[in-house]
Structure 1
């Protein structure tokens, strides 16, 4: 078990109701009382980095000792399928396993509880999890992004203990990860998420749900048959291009009252599972499944950060928002709009940082199998040994007929090919070459510019980077 270094943390459990529970750590004793249901939580003062200690828990005549508790950098990884994507499916998996050199790395996979009430728990047979040492025998079930993060952190500081807590679920909208108070905060969110769920689950019988799922499964089967036929007839065509021709797997499945895709569902079944834990940092990698509602993503993301900080009782908890990679097959500019919202929240909320991976991704494959660049970049930023974000434009200034853009998290911008931006004048868009000097970007003939865009597309072309190879975040900006 890994607890956050230099930060207080909590231990919770269940014992005999209305009794005293104590925790002894390094000759210090912390005490609390259980409630009427026997639940208890003890807050333990911060332990320094590189500490290894036992925690002795006592309740009446019973003693339980948690052995070899380590302090380290504890990171919560959360979001949907691309952060859930397992290391075993990475294109470099076997090569990495054959030459593994990873020390002091541990991980915990939060059980993917989908639904629970007094009568049922879904999925059935869900097993409990435990902390694992990241080694050849266990890494196959670790997050791929998590592996590359841990590898980079271990390389930068081999003696530091890293604890990765994986809490994710593929195919999910951000609406599944926030509490009711967020979705009820505006009529627009109620109309987009709450009301459609009610309409989809009201007045239906199990027979109705069975019929809907039968139709859905038939459409998936037809898609798979069509895809297999196309690939057989066109063996030279890649899977990505084949999907571009045939279409992608139908998603989402029909909504039910117990679906893990329901609004607020995973906030209660997964995030609340770790509400008594403490973290040094949170990585949020999500947005793919919100391409149909990109315009409200900013409200949702702000609500997520604020509500999670409230749940964890940690208003300064650092969040690292992963700006989406490139992927073509979405409604026009949907991912570009989401990237813009991901950028904007890092400029308006304290201790929220951007990690752009917009220069990665595959045009027609939403789940790239190469995640080294993305994970390594996130790890470098989490290490606190470099910039705390990837580059972004933080200020603009008009000087004569030039528009000057000032860029953070860079010493000297590096161009890869021709650096261009879109500019709008008199309501019309055109492409214009720009120049980079040090940490500024210069746009000439800037008179009458109304708005500018950089790499503003679902599948963008990034041409400006910092000295570590991290891309300038795609953006759209009004020019007054």
Structure 2
């Protein structure tokens, strides 16, 4: 077995950021010299006591394709057809993991595919790694591959529609997508210990429950918990199948509304991928040395039971990832949750509010609202065109860097005026109503959009307002690119 190795993401055909320093890392015999050659330049570094090494390479211009040679002692590796372009990290849980092959438009899109210069890498979904750093034998490996009719079935559905729009806007741009996601996960799985231990509420919400669930239990205890869980899942599936056979004209969404949804999450164990900090170490740290241009974060569904701590978690995630990637200004694009009814009251609305607030309070963090999409009783819609296309439009840099949102308020006479960013002119789809709180009572009130401001009459005694503040909202305000004004709650001062 060769002693000179590269970290898994470094393969032939990879895409590295253009005009930006990037890194290549791997392992060699400890304390030996590692040399890298690219475009007539040579770099050298000594492997540390563990044999790990990282080499930083000076920026390479856009639209360059080259080979990179790495050598140590009498061994060498050649990375072939390394391209420069724009590198985007797609990350989160199941709705960004949702595969393009499961999209309702998959067959039609594949039949009329017109893509070039697009490449992607799926980070292996390593759930647990022991202290000996041994990898599971059944862990799927990955490599960089071109996005075409033979490979796109493996890509994120959101990712496909995003690159389709980017390609339409700039057909000659080389795009590299790093897919790093895992369905069913809380944001707590994606942050380091330092984030969870920084706040007592986070300790009470995530750290202590995990400790209780995994302490002083025998193998038989875990087996019994999983037996009970599997029985509950089997009963649910049986009940759902029975209901559907008796009601063949009822949609799956409505059937689940009657029968209930699949029980989740499964019981916690010390090695569960749902454990706090787990995927930060097993997946994000896999690619910590790979330099990216932008991060798209689409997650939050699994934090509906604890929405009040989501803002603290999201802020901690962004700061800790920027530290891990050694990029203090790494742009983040936070996808505001779509509509979905079957969660505790206002839990998704609360998470959307925190997603909005974090993007307003941290530099280079942008909001992409898809609250006008989603299905009432289906948490995994098969229509991702609108969401993915909107992400592509916004991260392209060709227009607004976010969807529209209210950023300022002002009382003028008896009117409350709300100012909207990322809009030239607002349009309304039907009647627009806000929830307005006066003297502790919430009432609906119709509002009007003029240009890029929103006017609310009779502003006296208003203390708080809400727009589309529901799990499954109705969005009626849009900018000229048909992007929705982000749902929000605001105190009136």
Q: Contact conserved, 1:283 with 1:322, CA < 8 A, in 2?
A: yes
Name the counterpart of 1:357. 370
1:51: how far off?
1.6
How far is the alpha carbon of 1:62 from its aligned partner? 2.4
Q: Does the 8 A contact of 1:152 with 1:380 survive in 2?
A: yes
How far, CA to CA, are the matches of 1:59 and 1:205 in structure 2? 47
Return the TM-score normalized by structure 1. Answer: 0.99
Q: Tell whether 2:112 aligns with 1:113.
A: no
- Residue 453 (1) aligns with residue 457 (2): no
Assess if the C-alpha contact under 8 Å between 1:281 and 1:319 holds in 2: yes
Shift of 1:122: 7.2
Per the alignment, residue 373 of structure 1 pairs with 386
Q: Which residue of 1 aligns with 2:348?
A: 335
- From 388, 392, 403, give the equivalent of 2:405: 392
Which structure 1 residue ranges, 5 or more long, are not aligned?
none
Q: What does residue 242 of structure 2 align with?
A: 229
Q: Is residue 2:77 matched to residue 1:53? A: no
Answer with 36-45 or 81-90: which moved more: 36-45
Report deviation, 1:68: 1.4
State whether structure 2 residue 488 is matched by structure 1 residue 475.
yes
The 5 A counterparts of 1:25-424 are 25-118=38-131, 124-424=137-437
Which stretch shifts more, 24-33 or 136-145? 24-33
* 1:121–1:226 Cα change, 3 Å: farther
Please, which moves more after superposition, 33-42 or 364-373?
33-42
Q: Distance in 2 between matches of 1:9 and 1:312?
A: 11
The Cα of 1:16 is off from its aligned counterpart by: 2.0
State whether residues 231 and 242 of structure 1, in contact with CA within 8 Å, keep that contact through their aligned partners in structure 2. yes
- Which secondary structure does the structure 1 equivalent of 2:339 belong to? coil
TM-score of the aligned structures, taking structure 2 as reference length:
0.96
Alignment match, 1:15:
28
Question: Aligned-pair RMSD on alpha carbons?
Answer: 1.0
Q: Could you tell me how far apart the structure 2 residues matched to 1:380 and 1:295 are?
A: 31
Q: Distance in 2 between matches of 1:37 and 1:216?
A: 42
C-alpha contact 1:115 1:121 (8 A) present in aligned 2 = no
Query: Are the equivalent residues in 2 in contact too, given 1:114–1:123 (CA < 8 A)?
Result: no
Q: Distance in 2 between matches of 1:376 and 1:123?
A: 36
Residues 218-268 of structure 1 show CA distances to partners (whole Å, capped at 9, x for unaligned) of 000000000000001111100000000000000000000000000000000
Q: Give the Cα–Cα distance (whole angstroms) in 2 for the partners of residues 105 and 416 of structure 1.
A: 36
> 1:120 deviation in Å?
8.4
SS at match of 1:116: coil
Q: Are residues 43 and 122 of structure 1, via their aligned partners in 2, closer, same or farther at CA, if it must alter by over 3 Å?
A: closer
Partner of 1:435: 448
Residues 469 and 144 (structure 1), Cα distance of their counterparts in 2 relative to 1, 3 Å cut:
same
Structure 2 SS opposite 1:67: strand
**1:60 Cα deviation (Å)?**
2.2
Q: CA deviation at 1:118?
A: 4.1
Q: Tell me the CA shift for residue 61 of structure 1.
A: 2.6
Q: Is the 8 A contact 1:201 1:257 kept in 2?
A: yes
* SS of corresponding position for 1:468: coil
Number of residue equivalences: 480
- State the match for 2:11 in structure 1: none
User: Which residue of 1 is the match for residue 10 of structure 2?
Assistant: none
Q: Would you say the 8 A contact 1:360–1:374 is kept in 2?
A: yes
Quote how far apart the aligned CAs of 1:127 are: 2.1
* Cα separation, 1, equivalents of 2:386 and 2:222: 42
The alpha-carbon distance between structure 1 residues 128 and 105, as it changes in their structure 2 partners (threshold 3 A), is same
Partners of 2:50 and 2:133 lie apart in 1 by 21
Per-residue deviation, residues 381-432 of structure 1 (Å, max 9, x unmatched): 1111111000001111111111111101010001111111111000001111
Unaligned runs of 5+ in 2: 1-13
Give the SS at the match of 2:361: coil
CA shift for structure 1 position 37 = 2.1
1:114–1:122 CA contact under 8 A, matched in 2: no
**Cα deviation per residue 1:34-75 (whole Å; 9 max; x = unaligned)?**
112221100011112112121121212323221111111100
Deviations, residues 328-361 of structure 1 (Å, cap 9, x unaligned): 0000000000000000000000100000000000
